[in-house]
Amino acid sequence: MYEQAEPVRSPFSRPDSGQISGPQPQSTPVHQGGHRGRVRHGNGADKRQEEEEAASHTYEGRATYTSADRTYPGEASGRGGLCSFIRSHRSCMAAGIAVLVAVGLAPMTFINKEEISRFSTAVGALKRDQDYISTTVDALKRDQDDISATVAALKRGHDDMSATVAALKHAQEDIITTVQGLKRDLYKEHNLTRALEQRLHEMTSCPNGYSTWNGICYKAFNTSKAFSDAAAACGEDGGTLAMPRGAGTNAFLIVLHNSVSDDQDFWFGLHDQYKEGSFQWVDGSALGMYNSWSPDEPNNSGGSEDCVAYAAGKNDKWNDDECTSPFYFICQAVPGDTVKRLSDHAQ
């Protein structure tokens, strides 16, 4: 005869719940004798039952099997017991999970708040940087526009400079041509200058024995002649009798004739032969404002004194005298004309 095996309780069920994990298993016959755990009838039944319970092996999450009777509840029954336990304790488990989550998330919340604060600060800094970058970009765009305008102006300036350079090159070519022409002209002028210098030298040359005063050649002759003969002798040298129109020239002539003789009278080129009292120089010009008459002169003594001389007895003052009187004389000549006339006269 077989005894019905006792149902296996779930390891998660309460002792007083009476729940049996999974569906009720089918009764398995238990053979008597020949094996430990076999049930015998009589007074030793309780003892054998305890041995069978001691020999049974219980596993959490799995069905219990008995070695005495080789009974194995199905694996689905174990899972069903676990699910029943979870359903019966889900409120406690939810509370525990909530506590665990709260305990676990509290530091994370604090950390997240710090991270959020830092992130907000970083975002604010990034926004300010973005605004600054936007402002900088706008300024760079304006600068770019200004640079573009400047480049365009520089290009126009470059074009203008190129045109100016081209014009300057043409002008340089013209200048070179002009300089070459000027060089030729300068060479001609140089030759002309040399000729003029030679001519000037000839013009500034006075006849032999003449002395220069204010560009005029003067000479005192120690030969006695009448006024007209003395004038003719001066003409032979290309000049005339001397005409002291100012005090400087007058003083120079006194020194000049005294170097020849200081006790002789000297004719010079003043007379009033055409009209008494109307004195004029031998070139036909009037006496003018300057004179150096001796006191009481001119007096036309005897009614025939029409020519003027330096009077040695009157401190070389001017004195009118008879034109036929034989006196020394003083000539003057223009340098160039004198040389030319002497050259023509020699031919």
The domain limits of the chain are: 115-203, 211-345
Q: Characterize 29-50 residue by residue with b for buried, 16 or more Cβ atoms within 10 angstroms of its Cβ, and e for exposed.
A: ebeeeeeebbbeeeeeeeebee
Its pTM surpasses 0.85: no
**Distance from C-alpha of 253 to C-alpha of 211, rounded to nearest angstrom:** 10
3-state DSSP assignment of residue 213: strand
Cis peptide preceding 107, ω within 30 of 0: no
Find out whether 259 and 216 touch, Cβ atoms under 8 Å.
Answer: no
Whole-number Å distance between alpha carbons of 149 and 153: 6
Distance CA 150, CA 144 (A): 10
Distance CA 70, CA 314 (A): 195
N- to C-terminal Cα distance for the chain? 199
User: Whole-angstrom Cα distance, residue 25 to residue 76?
Assistant: 12
- HEC string of 251-263? HHHHHHHHHHCCC
What pLDDT score does 329 carry?
98
At residue 340, the 3 state secondary structure works out as helix
Please tell me whether residue 43 adopts helix, strand or coil conformation: coil
Please give the pLDDT value at position 70.
Answer: 46
Residue 144, classed as helix, strand or coil, is helix
Cβ atoms of 230 and 267 within 8 Å: the answer is yes
Backbone angles phi, psi at 175, to 5 degrees: -65, -40
- Give the residue from 216, 255, 229 showing the smallest Cα distance to 333: 216
CB 264 within 8 A of CB 304: no
CATH entry 1.10.940.10 includes domain 211-345: no
- pLDDT of the chain, 347 residues: tens digit per residue: 444 445 545 444 444 544 444 445 444 444 444 444 444 444 555 555 555 555 444 444 444 444 444 444 545 556 666 667 667 777 777 777 777 766 666 666 667 788 888 888 999 999 999 999 999 999 999 999 999 999 999 999 899 989 999 999 989 999 999 999 999 999 888 888 888 776 665 566 788 889 999 989 999 999 999 999 999 999 998 899 999 999 999 999 999 999 999 999 999 999 999 999 999 999 999 999 999 999 999 999 888 999 999 999 999 999 999 999 999 999 999 886 544 444 444 43
For residue 241, what pLDDT is reported?
A: 97
Phi/psi at 286 (nearest 5 deg)? -70, 160
- What pLDDT was estimated at residue 90? 73
CA atoms within 13 A on the CB side of 33: 2
Measured distance CA(166)–CA(172) in Å, rounded: 10
